[in-house]
Structure 1
């Protein structure tokens, strides 16, 4: 299954989804957080790219293979999949906004922590960002560390292996990206969504538990309430990879 197929195209946007989860995108100012998220959602570079003030929000639907067997009555050979509505909260990296943006960490089950491979200072700040996220977000927070700006290889200050080992030592996934060329921009979000879904299906993350960062989506709610027909189908207001805001 290709990475791109994990996100739904605009022509197959469903009304319902299985789980709703909240992700935060954090890291020092200027590392390319907003550009990374914009390229992932819109499949194009963000130009111009002003600094984020406070917090910006976007969402998308992602269909991922499930580790659980297909439901009863499924066609022979059918594979099981789940649809996640992923809310992405992109926060400003400037220190003067930290007291405000920390409030948005609460209720997050996933974090994309970004540094600039041409800036050792931004890499050294990872510990502070990770500590804040784990202190304030879900106790079972899933984390992906992203080394951005791999298109500026000649100015690299943080070797790939150093970034990878740091992430491994801190229980996080790792990937390098270029939000200018579009290299690997989907990977952090797909890796994180897969980790969250696996955590839910293994029982590590409980959608019924307050503060877990995951809740059941409209598909599950409709299944539970189908006897009364009291829930009306709605239209997703998220963004789709390669699509437009609905």
Structure 2
């Protein structure tokens, strides 16, 4: 049996209206590639990317969801088990920005209460066509108490930073849940996680 090559496995989700650049953001981060030919995602797709934070190897399973209404029922099923959700809008499309509030409602209805969230205002390289100011993006993020980045998949602006920020927050949250157990519990091979006792080696997070 092959040895595990990572310390953590995080499931992340990209959501937002169709055409905001979710797939481009994903491919720029996972493959450092960019294609300006728009091809709408059918249903859902995913990529795997391994990163390192504070000496820990983290395997990211990143799901790219379709933004069209007809796929909404399919994609909502993937909210469950997501540890981090990136809400993406297009700075040149005000409607996609306004719809972030509806996407937030979808998260509240379908994802776990403690899921990490971040807002990305994508296509910031297209400043001449801007319909949403950076300050508006910041204000929306502040309203929900979230981190905010303006990004460009084309120019590789804040893509890596956004994923590292989210992954770091998830990692810190998981590590804060692990409390030191008593010497007696350790001797029995038991650790205390989030107020519950689990056997060592068992997973304290469900990803699906």
TM-score between the two structures when normalised by the length of structure 1: 0.69
| Cα distance in 2 between the residues matched to 1:23 and 1:89 | 6
| Cα distance in 2 between the residues matched to 1:128 and 1:172 | 16
Which residue among 11, 17, 30 is the counterpart of 2:6? 17
How do 1:90-169 and structure 2 match up within 5 A? Answer: 90-169=64-143
Query: Conserved in 1, the CA contact under 8 Å of 2:116 and 2:166?
Result: yes
Q: Mind listing any 5+ residue stretches in structure 1 that lack a counterpart?
A: 1-13, 66-80, 210-219, 223-246
| Cα distance in 2 between the residues matched to 1:62 and 1:160 | 28
Q: Mind listing any 5+ residue stretches in structure 2 that lack a counterpart?
A: 179-192, 195-199, 203-208
Structure number having the greater strand percentage? 2
- Aligned pair 1:37/2:26, yes or no? yes
Name segments (4+ residues, structure 1) moved above 2 Å: 46-49
- Aligned pair 1:57/2:46, yes or no? yes
Query: Partner of 1:84: helix, strand, or coil?
Result: strand
Query: Partner of 1:186: helix, strand, or coil?
Result: helix
| Cα distance in 2 between the residues matched to 1:83 and 1:51 | 32
Number of residue pairs the alignment of both structures matches? 182
Cα RMSD (Å) of the superposition? 2.1
Query: Conserved in 2, the CA contact under 8 Å of 1:35 and 1:49?
Result: no
How do 1:196-207 and structure 2 match up within 5 A? Answer: 196-203=170-177
Query: Partner of 1:105: helix, strand, or coil?
Result: coil
Deviation (angstroms), 1:38: 0.3
Deviation (angstroms), 1:159: 0.7
Query: Conserved in 2, the CA contact under 8 Å of 1:111 and 1:141?
Result: yes
| Cα distance in 2 between the residues matched to 1:171 and 1:136 | 19
TM-score between the two structures when normalised by the length of structure 2: 0.82
Which residue among 147, 168, 187 is the counterpart of 2:161? 187
Aligned twin of 2:152: 178
Aligned twin of 1:228: none
